[in-house]
Structure formats: C-alpha cells, structure tokens
Chains A and B, each alone.
Chain A
Amino acid sequence: MPKKIELPISESAIRELRIGDEVEISGPMVLGRDAAHKHLVKTHDEAFDRLARDRFLYHCGPVVRRDDAGEWRFVAAGPTTSIREEPYEAQVIERYGVRGIIGKGGMGARTLEAMRKHSCVYLHAIGGLAVVLADKVVKVHGAHMLDELGVPEAMWSIEVKDFPSVITMDSHGGSLHETMFAQSKDAARRLMEQGVRAPAGRKPA
C-alpha cells in the first residue's frame, strides 16, 4: 500500500521516507522547470517561497485549458526530466525550504547532498502519464510569472489529491538511480564483450 503524504510536510516526516517507498501525495504544491530554476537562483522570489516552503516542487510543463468560467484546468501534466535542473536544485532546496522534488529520471550528486543536508526527497513520477496525473490535480490556483515564462515554464500553484510517485532519492543519501546506473553499466560491459552473434537461422515470424 502506498504511504499517504499530506502537504505541507515536516522535516521529521521527510526523514522517515526511504528509497523504494511508494507514496500518494495530497495538498498544495508548485510547478517549476528550466526557466523557473534559472530565475529562482538569480533572485529570492518571495511569491515562490510562499508556494514552495515545506511543500513539493514539481518538474512539469503542463498542457492547460481555460474553461468558460475562466478557471484553469490541467489537461496533461506528467513530469519532465529533472537532471537539467541539477546545476540549480541544491540552491533552490536550501534557499526555499523545499521538502520534495517531483520529476523523472532522478538527479545528481549535488542535489542528493542538498537533500541529505536540508531534509528533502526526490519523488519519481511516471513520465508520459500525463492524463492520469492531470486528473490528480484537483485545483489550479494560478500561475506565477505566466506572462514572463509562458504556459509550460510558469510556476503553477496547484492542489493535488493522491498523486502517485516513488521515492528514488531520500534524505539519507540513498539513490535508486545510482544503484541502477552501476548495475546496468556492468551488464552493458558484459554484453559488449559477447560480440556480434553468428548469423544463425532467424526466428520464424
């Protein structure tokens, strides 16, 4: 059974999470990706601080629609690749007190270290799961810097319910991605050494 996570979340609750834990997140969180990260390390953004402190930051550039009443609605909202934010994320975690990063693919050593130091986790969502995840967005409060950054890059403030993900980097220095990389690297080396297979009879279709 997935663990339920309610946002905002305390430092001690974050420490209890370990890699491999499946979780479902509910509560307010904020979106941010490439342009937002670049901006967030350049200045201290008070508005973002209010949206992110003790909450989660989701790497996502959604497809949105505005209904007749003028309300925003998320149509498609899966995670984007997180590693691009590696140069910025450690600083964002430290400066804004973010407790969780949601994305895909995992992040590097600097972020892992910041997570250990400042009590934060990485939550892996399934890439390409855009419609299922958009359904978990129960409310869109608005978008910070929409005009400057455009729809995919704006910092959307949203409310989610039972948003599914897996902890792949925890606040104790554990990273599923490092393990997987090392494992597959060994397997790849062995596979390379096997060389090209002799052109035996092809399998019948």
Chain B
Amino acid sequence: MASLRPHIVELIRHTSSGLPEDVLDALAGARDSEPEGSRAWSTFELMISNVEAARQASAPICQDTGTLIFYVDYGPDHTAHQLEKDIVAAVREATKRAYLRPNAVDSITGVNSGDNVGKGSPYIHFHARRERGVRVRLMMKGGGCENVGAQYSLPDESIGAGRDLDGIRRCIIDAVQKAQGYGCAPGTVGVGVGGDRVTSYIESKEQLFRPLRDVNPDPVLEDLEQELLGSLQGLNIGPMGFGGKTTVLGVKIGARHRVPASFFVSISYMCWAYRKGELSVKGAKAVLDGHPLAVPVPAAKKAAAKKAVAKKAVAKKAVAKKAVAKKAVAKKAVAKKPVAKKAVAKKPVAKKAVAKKPVAKKPVAKKPVAKKPVAKKPVAKKAVDKKTAGPAVQVASRRARRNKLNVL
C-alpha cells in the first residue's frame, strides 16, 4: 500500500482552511436572522468572509488549529502501524507548510515540540473493519472551546439534575450558559450520556462528527435535540457572547450504557469554526469530503496525468500551474496512485451545485438557485490559479451565492 501521506496533508489543509457546508449554511442563516448592520449581523458577516479568505489563501481559518483528532477505519489492505506513520509524517509536513500552528506542548517542561508531534499527539483512534480501503476522519478542535467542555456526575444538586432526561437537559443548558462566548459562540454541543468518565467524553466528541442537519436514530434524543436547538437560542448569548438570536448551531446527543453507580453527562463544545473533514481511500480512488481528491502526482505518472487533464478540457493556464506545483511536491511524494484526479475534481463541484437545490435554506432560500452555475465559472478559475485543490472551488462558489443572498 502506498503512503497516504500526501492525501492526509491535503485532508489537513482542506480541514484547516475551511468549514463544512452545513456549518457555513448555518452561519449564513444565523446572519440573515439578525437585523442588517447590527453587531451580531456584522460579526457573522466577518466570520463568513474570514472562511472565504482562508479558503482562497489556504490559510488556517483560526490560528488555533487545535487538537488533531483522527478517527481511522481501516480494512485488511492497510495496517494501523503504516497509517500512523503516514499521519504523523503528514502532520509534520502540514505544520511546516503553516497549515497548522505548532500546538504540541510538553506539559511538564513547557517546551513546544515545534511540529505538532508529541506524547499522545496527534490523537489517533483506530478501528479495524472488514471492508477494504480506509476512511480517515479529522476534527480540529481549538483550545478555547475545549476548555468550556464540562462533565456532570448525576445527580447534581446544584442544578437540580436527577438521573433522567430532565437531568440531562439541565446539564446541557447549564454548560451552554456557562460557556458564554468563551468557546467562540455560536457553538455545536456534543453530548455523551453514560459510559465511564473517559468513554462519556469520547461519545460527546464522536457526536460532533455528525452532520448538523441529521436525525438522531433515537427518537427520544431526537426530540430533545430539536427542542434544545430551538430553546437554547433564548439564552441570547449570540455570536462571541455579544448577544443575538443564535447561541448554538446544533445539539447532538449520544448515550452509552453505564454501570449502575455512575451517570455521567459529558459536554464537548465545538466553536463556530467547526473544522472537520473526511478522507476515503479505496484502491486508487481517494475522496475528500465527497469530492475526488486532488493529490500531488508522482513524477512517473506525470505525463499520463497531464493528458488526462487536457482531456477534461481544463484551462491551459491552470494545467501549467498545476504541473509546476506537482513538480515541486512530486519530489517528496511517493504515492503510487494514478492520480489524474486533480482534473476530475471539477466535475463533482458542478454536481454538488445541482444536488444542493432541494436543500431549501430555511429563511434564506428565496433566490433562484439557477444562477449559481453562472457565478461558479470565474470563481473556479481563481481557485485553480491559486494551486488550491478541487474542494476549494466548491466553497468559493458558495461565496457568490451567499453574497447574492446578501443583496436580498
């Protein structure tokens, strides 16, 4: 199996320099619910423009590139040992390229390792599976929001929380109120119920991998999530704690069995800069957040790759630029995959735009979606110019749409 290092570097770059679409949509919706020109409105506006600027520059949207949490599901054609090596090497490379801030500090000596690698860093959770290939999920969670996380042991008299659904609900309300703007509100609340102290927190983090607009398989928890998503907004904490109509973007609750003596409710708060990404590799196919992944092409395959690029009729200039970029990276890269993917990356973008139509934005989607593809072309070119990979195009295109909505 070839090294996945370049793929993982790309996963880190992509995750660090942008937000998932559902989060961007939620932020745009939050902005549009505020009176134009208000402090909350302009705060959301700045947040969105910051994500766009970061995407364009391939720079981290937040300087706190956070704790790197990798969840890896791997099949029989991979080994945890090799994947760990690839991930660690990728983290080092991504730090060197300033996609990541050196964020691993020795707790006893206070010395920063300088490359994000240290004892227990990055954190990698392996899970073996029967199916071939590998799926790597990455979450980057900043320290500010991690610090406002909380674990309750029920019963908790101080908030009147007993060992039942009402008690769980009280914990969530209490944690969100105490978090104020410290965790960069509006955040998404991951909740782990049950387990032991460790697995309860793990559950709360795993909940944060869920998309914002999904349905909890447990109808009781789904009801609670929906109710809290509505009622927590009444705390009026707003973006950064400045006050406003949106205090949380999502509430996600999972439960595990517990021993009779313990009843933990663990809350992980994820800031508005909700960075997560998913990479799937199967054979020669690599997909990053639903898009075929453009990875550096190994030198030997360059000619073939170029041909493929031409076939897809990508702008000549872009190809030339890419080739240069490839050359630079190819020196180091060893990936054996026939990676003509850079060229392909554009197609799914178009698909995505189409697929999006039915997802009527709540209060916002008054605009005819048909205009999107028009706006896309020039933006796409710009993105390619910047030697950013495929997925960047898709986000840039959303900017056009968002700006249009803005005019409404």
Which A residues are closer than 8 A to B by beta carbons? 22, 35, 60-65, 75-78, 80-81, 83, 104-106, 124, 126-132, 134-135, 150-153, 164, 166, 168, 176-177, 180-181, 183-185, 187-188, 191-192, 194-197, 199-200, 202-203, 205
* Chain B count of residues within 8 A CB distance of the other chain: 67
User: With an 8 A cutoff between CB atoms, is B84 at the interface?
Assistant: no
> A175 to B227, alpha carbons, bound, how many Å?
32
Binds A, one of B168-176, B248-256, B369-377, B392-400: B168-176
Main secondary structure of the interface of A (DSSP, over half): mixed
Minimum distance in angstroms from B262 CB to a CB of chain A:
22
Residues of B93-109 whose CB lies within 8 A of A:
98, 100-103, 105
Contact in complex: A76, B63 (CB < 8 Å) = yes
Contact in complex: A63, B63 (CB < 8 Å) = yes
User: With an 8 A cutoff between CB atoms, is B57 at the interface?
Assistant: yes
User: With an 8 A cutoff between CB atoms, is B403 at the interface?
Assistant: no
A80 contact from B50, B64, B215, Cβ within 8 A? B64
User: With an 8 A cutoff between CB atoms, is B61 at the interface?
Assistant: yes
Contact sample, A vs B, 26 pairs, CB 8 Å cutoff: A62-B101, A65-B98, A75-B59, A76-B101, A83-B182, A104-B240, A106-B241, A127-B184, A130-B63, A131-B50, A131-B59, A131-B60, A131-B61, A151-B101, A168-B242, A177-B181, A177-B241, A180-B180, A184-B236, A187-B236, A192-B170, A196-B166, A196-B224, A196-B227, A202-B226, A205-B213
> A42 to B39, alpha carbons, bound, how many Å?
39
A132: B residues at CB distance < 8 A: 46, 49-50, 53
B234 contact from A105, A127, A187, A202, Cβ within 8 A? A187
User: With an 8 A cutoff between CB atoms, is B344 at the interface?
Assistant: no
User: With an 8 A cutoff between CB atoms, is B160 at the interface?
Assistant: yes
Minimum distance in angstroms from B153 CB to a CB of chain A:
18
Given A130-B63, A188-B235, are A205 and B53 neighbors across the interface (CB < 8 Å)?
Answer: no
B114: A residues at CB distance < 8 A: 150
Residues of B173-197 whose CB lies within 8 A of A:
173-174, 176-177, 180-182, 184
Contact in complex: B237, A180 (CB < 8 Å) = yes
User: With an 8 A cutoff between CB atoms, is B219 at the interface?
Assistant: yes
Contact in complex: A128, B61 (CB < 8 Å) = yes
Minimum distance in angstroms from B243 CB to a CB of chain A:
6
Contact in complex: A130, B59 (CB < 8 Å) = yes
Most buried by A among B54, B100, B232: B54
A181: B residues at CB distance < 8 A: 180
A188: B residues at CB distance < 8 A: 173-174, 176-177, 235
B143: A residues at CB distance < 8 A: 80-81
Contact in complex: B62, A128 (CB < 8 Å) = yes
User: With an 8 A cutoff between CB atoms, is B223 at the interface?
Assistant: yes
> A126 to B65, alpha carbons, bound, how many Å?
16
In the complex, the number of residue pairs spanning A and B with C-beta atoms less than 8 Å apart equals 179
A130: B residues at CB distance < 8 A: 50, 54, 59-63
B49: A residues at CB distance < 8 A: 132
Residues of B340-389 whose CB lies within 8 A of A:
none
Residues of B133-188 whose CB lies within 8 A of A:
142-144, 147, 159-160, 165-166, 169-170, 173-174, 176-177, 180-182, 184
Most buried by B among A64, A128, A130: A128
B62: A residues at CB distance < 8 A: 76, 78, 127-130
> A80 to B271, alpha carbons, bound, how many Å?
12
B102: A residues at CB distance < 8 A: 150-152
> Hey, what's the 0/1 contact readout for B15-58 against A, CB within 8 Å counting as 1?
00000000000000000000000010001001101100110010
Contact in complex: B63, A77 (CB < 8 Å) = yes
User: In chain A, what residue has the closest Cβ to B168?
Assistant: A196
A129: B residues at CB distance < 8 A: 46-47, 50, 62
Ordered nearest first, which 5 A-B pairs have the shortest CB separation?
A150-B112, A128-B273, A127-B184, A76-B63, A188-B177
